[in-house]
């Protein structure tokens, strides 16, 4: 048996698309889209939301509606830092003088966890 989720987009059922129309003449409705649950680890481009939202717009509508609650799940009370080493290389060409800034993560120092 295949599992399905209803799209969690709060306005999904208000989008005027033919694939949302259900019911018989006189009692037709626009219905929230049904999403076939798939093994997202097998999708090259999966971002993890695809089994719960039919499209990015529905995901964003959900986030907008539940923003305060979503932020409360992982509040950021201080900045995180990634240790890096910065080297600058100056060079000139026929357009002028330039500086290449190379940023590399310093794996020998610990990264902020949070």
Binding residues for Zn ion (CB under 5 A): 7, 9, 12, 33, 54, 58
Largest interatomic CA distance in the chain: 74
CB of 71 to Zn ion, least distance (A): 22
Q: Quick one: 7 or 50, whose CB is closer to Zn ion?
A: 7
Q: Which residues contact 15 (CB under 8 A, 6 or more apart)?
A: 30
- As measured in angstroms, the least distance from the Cβ of 33 to Zn ion is 5
Instruction: Indicate the DSSP class of residue 25.
Output: T
For residue 2, the minimal CB distance to Zn ion (Å) is 18
- Give dist(CA 89, CA 106) in Å, integer: 18
């Amino acid at each position: 048996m295949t599992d399905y989720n209803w799209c969690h987009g709060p306005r999904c059922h208000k989008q005027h698309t033919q694939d949302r129309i259900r019911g018989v003449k006189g009692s037709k409705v626009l219905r929230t889209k049904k999403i076939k649950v798939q093994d997202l680890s097998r999708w090259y481009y999966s971002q993890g939301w695809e089994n719960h939202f039919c499209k990015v717009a529905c995901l964003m509508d959900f986030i907008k509606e539940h923003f305060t609650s979503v932020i409360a799940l992982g509040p950021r009370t201080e900045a995180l830092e990634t240790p890096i080493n910065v080297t600058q290389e100056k060079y000139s060409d026929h357009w002028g003088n330039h500086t290449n800034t190379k940023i590399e993560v310093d794996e020998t120092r610990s990264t902020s966890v949070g």
